[in-house]
Structure 1
Amino acid sequence: MESGATRENERASGTSVRIYLPDERLRSFATFYYFVECFDELEDFLYPEWGNVRFSIAGSWWVQSREVRGHMPVDGALFGATDRAARVVSRGGKTAGFGLTPLGWQRLFDVPADALANRIAPLCDRMGRPAHTITTELVAHRSDEQGVALFDALLFELLATRPPNTPDAIAVDAALRDRPRTVAAFAEAAGTDRRALDRVCKRVFGFGPKRLLKRQRFLDTLGRVRYEEHPRFDDLRDPEYYDQSHFNHEFHEFMGLSPREYLSAPRPLMGQAALVQLQAGIPLSFKLPPPPEELG
């Protein structure tokens, strides 16, 4: 998948990020697989995101947020959905994993999304196999192709044992794609009342409907900012922001720093990840993927 020259360039930059799409039948549940190597010391953001399964293959990986401060569990970690940025620090090492969609979270795990929102838990045997055996396989694999095949197999095996997504979750997922402006409009689009909408949003997405709409508005803008070399926020920010001051306030709320501070901060991991995502044809918009189809 890579040339020797590519790997040498990555070593010179200090970080290697490789990203692959899962099997087409899995793309409603998992966003993409990633394999990251850090050759030197690294510190960067982890953007607000949906759930994630991560394996620490070598070295140390330290995650810090308002709620979490500590080393990533050695034998696999389940990251809940987040509505704020965290920091990741490594002194050199390798990690691999995959992102989950909200409907993927519901299909794969029995834990309500809000119970792990902005938190990390040991993976244990939640993937149908003990996490330490998966980590051992990843350590033994000498190619990304083998890791991709392992993740595909794990997801197919686990999905075969789990019930389908609930109709209310699918309806809320579909409604959120159109970015309703208010909670009332959100409930109407999902065909439910506000109390039921609140329960589904927390259980499947990790946050209440008002917070979820606010989060998606910010992430849509952040997705556009990420791939502009010299972004002009006036041109890129979502039209629902009243003005630059409104956007600045929410940027600080979600990222913990101002837009200007963000642009001046080094992003060795996420900067390269954005380029690799674009090369792989994966949007940076944080938009939800297509709804699920039953596996044949």
Structure 2
Amino acid sequence: MNAFHEDTFWPGWMHLRLKLLETQRWQLKATGRDWFETGKATVFGPTSGAVKTRAESGVVVGAGITPVGWLALNLQSARHWADRVGPADQAGFRAIDALHSRAMELDDDEDVKDLFDEYFREQINTQQRGLEMVEKIMQALLDANRTRIGDLAQGVAVSERTFQRLCAEAFGFAPRLLLRRARFLRSLAAIREVDPAERSAAIDESYTDYSHFIRDSHKFLGKSPRAFLEGQSQMAVKSLEYRRKVLGQSTQALTSAGD
């Protein structure tokens, strides 16, 4: 057996991943779950905590999916997949075997994006009910000035019951947790860009103090922010930097529906 490479994914939205070397062992552990041995196509549900990963050498390709995309793909409720990983077909992904076969035939890494773009165009329903409201909620989550559930719901113009249902169906979590996670991720992304001495000034203004932020870190990551950032692999750091370069944010959960 080859040696395992271990790493950790930040809390975020959903992902679809395809393993192109089928003999490769790749295991994942979401918060509160047992280790999951991946197959050829794996879905990550929305996560409120870090996802641990350990894998042998191999090739994995994939795409991130926003709550808008999840709803448009007409998949199972995101609430059902919250803090969970599993076989993609169990979440409702269609034609997944064909997608995997096409991915196996690619000769150029540059073709991966086009492959997933084409697949999602074939699968999404742009007329799916609730898409516009989910997009508005996503935008509200990116606004650091919206710190309360009422702020988050403002402008969506639906009943509280509908608002709660949309959060569960498309985002996987209750509004309060979504707000808390967004605040924490904004702060975590900010402190990794500054010197350690400046970190207390870089966190979100709605935190009462830095110890408040550290408590959130233990909730979402299971450790202090310093321990988490220092434990990230070189590959993870490069991934964060590349995502920021392309999408403007180092973590998927802080990007807009159109990114």
Q: Which TM bucket (shorter chain)?
A: 0.7 to 0.9
Q: What are the superposed Cα offsets for residues 12-59 of structure 1, whole Å, 9 maximum, x if unpaired?
A: xxxxxxxxxxxxxxxxxxxxxxxxxxx964111111010110111121
Shift of 1:139: 2.4
2:54 aligned counterpart, secondary structure: strand
CA contact (8 A) 1:175 1:189 kept: no
Deviations 1:130-159 (A, max 9, x none): x23322322221211222221111011112
Q: Distance in 2 between matches of 1:221 and 1:68?
A: 26
Preserved CA contact (<8 Å) 2:249 2:255: no
Give the equivalent residue in structure 1 for 2:89: 124
Distance of 1:174 and 1:259 partners within structure 2? 26
Q: Who is 1:288 aligned against?
A: 255
| Partners of 2:241 and 2:250 within 8 A in 1 | no
Residue among 211, 223, 228 paired with 1:262: 228
Match of 1:238 in 2: 204
Q: Corresponding residue for 2:11?
A: 48
Correspondence list, 1:1-296, <5 A? 41-58=4-21, 59-124=24-89, 126-129=92-95, 131-159=96-124, 161=125, 163-166=127-130, 167-179=132-144, 180-228=146-194, 232-280=198-246, 282-284=248-250, 286-290=253-257
Q: Is the 8 A contact 1:65 1:87 kept in 2?
A: yes
Deviation at 1:290, TM superposition (A): 4.7
1:29 corresponds in structure 2 to none
Q: For residue 259 of structure 1, report the CA deviation from its aligned partner.
A: 1.9
Residues in 1 aligned to 2:119 and 2:184: alpha-carbon distance in whole angstroms: 33
Q: What amino acid does structure 2 have at the position aligned with 1:146?
A: D
Flag the 1:266–1:203 CA change in 2: closer, same or farther, 3 A. Answer: closer
Aligned equivalents of 1:172, 1:274: Cα separation in 2 = 24
1:100: Cα distance to partner? Answer: 0.7
Question: How far apart are the structure 2 equivalents of 1:281 and 1:231?
Answer: 28
Provide TM-score, normalisation by structure 1: 0.76
Residues 186 and 162 of structure 1: CA distance in aligned 2, closer, same or farther (over 3 Å) = closer
CA distance in 2, matches of 1:145, 1:233: 37
Flag the 1:121–1:281 CA change in 2: closer, same or farther, 3 A. closer
In structure 1, how many angstroms separate the alpha carbons of the residues matched to 2:84 and 2:142?
25
Would the alpha carbon gap of residues 98 and 224 (structure 1) be closer, same or farther in structure 2, given more than 3 Å must change?
same
Question: Mean Cα displacement is larger for which, 94-103 or 71-80?
Answer: 71-80
**Contact 2:78/2:169, CA 8 A, preserved across alignment:** yes
Q: 1:197 is matched by which residue type in structure 2?
A: F
Shift of the 135–43 alpha-carbon distance from structure 1 to 2, 3 Å rule, reads same
Alignment check: 8 A CA contact 1:115 1:206 kept: yes
Asked if 1 retains the 8 angstrom alpha-carbon contact of 2:36 and 2:86, the reply is no
Take 1:155 and 1:190, find their aligned partners in 2: how far apart are those partners?
26
CA contact (8 A) 2:31 2:48 kept: no
Q: Secondary structure at the match of 1:106?
A: helix
Change (3 A) 1:55 1:247: same
CA-to-partner distance for each residue in 1:176-223, whole Å, 9 max, x for gaps? 333421112323342234333211111111111111110110111122
- Letter paired with 1:120: V
**More deviation in 256-265 or 198-207?**
256-265
Amino acid at match of 2:215: H
Further displaced range: 182-191 or 90-99? 182-191
Q: Which one has a larger percent strand, Structure 1 or Structure 2?
A: 1
- SS of structure 2 residue aligned to 1:93: coil
Deviation at 1:69, TM superposition (A): 2.7
Structure 2 unmatched ranges of 5 or more: none
- Alignment coverage as a number of residue pairs: 252
